[in-house]
C-alpha cells in the first residue's frame, strides 16, 4: 500500500510567514512540528518544542527560526506506507513528496490508528474495495444493499481522507474474494472505484483510469 493513499494535503506555511502563523497551524492540526515549504519544495520543519519562546516576537519570520543544517525527513508518495510508519517514530508529521520532489501532502501520527486498521483488514480473507464518495451524497444503507444484491456481505468499513476536502475514501471489506459482480454493480450505480484488491479480477476501463492516481502493493 503506497503512502499516497493516506496522504492529506492541508495548506502549509512558507519561511516568510510569521511565527504566530506556525503556532496557529500547530493548534489546528495538533502537531508540534510544522512543515515549511519554499515554492512547493520542502524547506524543513519548525519544531515548536525546541524553540525558546521568551525572546521571540509573534511577528518574527519563520525563516529566522528554521534550522537548515539538518536534512529534513520526508517520504515519497510511491513508498510503502510501512516506510512512513517507521519514520513517524522520529517526528509527528512527514511531508510527502512526488518524484519531482514537490509537495504532495503530509502524513501524521494521528493517522496511525486508521493505517494500522486498514493494514489489519488485509489479513482477513475477502476482497477489499475503496469507493470515492462525497461527504453528503452517499448512503451506507444503499452501499450495503448493492453488496447484498451480489450475494456478498460487508464485514468491515471505515472512512479515510481524500486529497479533495469534499470527498472521502470509503474502505470496504467483503466476505468474498471475487468482487467482479460487486465492482460492476457499484459502477452501474455511478460509484467511483478508487481501489480493488482481490484475486482473479479483470479491471474495467473505468478502474484503469484510476491507476495514474493510485498504485498499490499487495500485502
Class of domain 3-109: alpha beta
List the grid coordinates of 114.
486508521
Tell me the mean pLDDT in the region 67-81: 81
Burial class (CB in 10 A: 0-12, 13-18, 19+), 158: middle
Cell of 200: 482473479
Looking at the predicted structure, is the pLDDT value of residue 204 above 50?
no
Beta-strand pair 192-197/128-134: antiparallel
* C-beta separation of 92 from 84 below 8 A: no
Domain ranges of the chain: 3-109, 122-208
Binned at pLDDT 50, 70 and 90, residue 37 comes out as very high
The pLDDT of residue 215: 45
Q: Which three cell numbers stand for residue 180?
A: 467482479
Mean pLDDT of the chain: 83
Look at residue 50 in the predicted model and tell me its pLDDT.
83
Bigger pLDDT: 155 vs 144? 144
pLDDT in tens, 166-195: 888 888 888 888 899 999 999 999 999 988
CATH code, 122-208:
3.30.2130.10
Cβ 65 vs Cβ 21: under 8 Å: no
Please report which confidence band the pLDDT of residue 216 belongs to, taking 50, 70 and 90 as the band edges. very low
pLDDT at 199 exceeding the cut of 70 = no
Classify residue 73 by its DSSP letter. P
Question: What pLDDT does residue 179 have?
Answer: 92
Half-sphere exposure of 135 (CA within 13 A, CB side): 7
pLDDT confidence band for 1 (50 / 70 / 90): low
Amino acid at each position: 500500500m503506497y503512502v499516497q493513499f493516506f496522504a492529506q494535503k492541508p495548506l502549509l506555511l512558507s519561511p516568510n510567514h510569521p511565527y504566530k502563523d506556525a503556532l496557529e497551524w500547530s493548534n489546528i492540526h495538533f502537531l508540534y512540528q510544522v512543515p515549511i515549504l519554499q515554492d512547493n519544495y520542502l524547506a524543513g520543519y519548525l519544531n515548536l518544542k525546541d524553540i525558546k519562546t521568551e525572546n521571540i516576537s509573534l511577528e518574527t519570520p519563520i525563516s529566522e527560526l528554521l534550522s537548515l543544517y539538518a536534512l529534513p525527513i520526508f517520504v515519497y508518495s510511491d513508498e510503502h506506507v510501512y516506510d512512513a510508519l517507521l519514520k513517524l517514530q522520529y517526528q509527528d508529521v512527514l511531508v510527502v513528496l512526488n518524484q519531482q520532489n514537490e509537495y504532495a501532502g503530509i502524513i501524521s501520527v494521528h493517522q496511525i490508528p486508521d493505517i494500522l486498521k486498514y493494514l489489519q483488514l488485509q489479513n482477513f480473507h475477502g476482497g477489499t474495495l475503496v469507493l470515492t464518495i462525497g461527504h453528503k451524497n452517499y448512503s451506507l444503507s444503499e452501499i450495503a444493499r448493492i453488496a447484498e444484491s451480489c450475494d456478498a456481505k460487508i464485514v468491515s468499513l471505515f472512512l479515510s481522507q481524500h486529497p479533495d476536502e469534499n470527498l472521502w475514501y470509503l474502505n470496504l471489506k467483503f466476505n468474498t474474494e471475487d468482487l467482479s459482480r460487486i465492482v460492476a454493480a457499484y459502477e452501474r450505480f455511478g460509484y467511483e472505484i478508487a481501489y480493488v484488491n482481490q484475486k482473479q479480477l479483470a479491471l474495467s476501463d473505468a478502474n484503469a483510469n484510476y491507476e495514474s492516481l493510485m498504485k498499490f502493493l499487495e500485502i
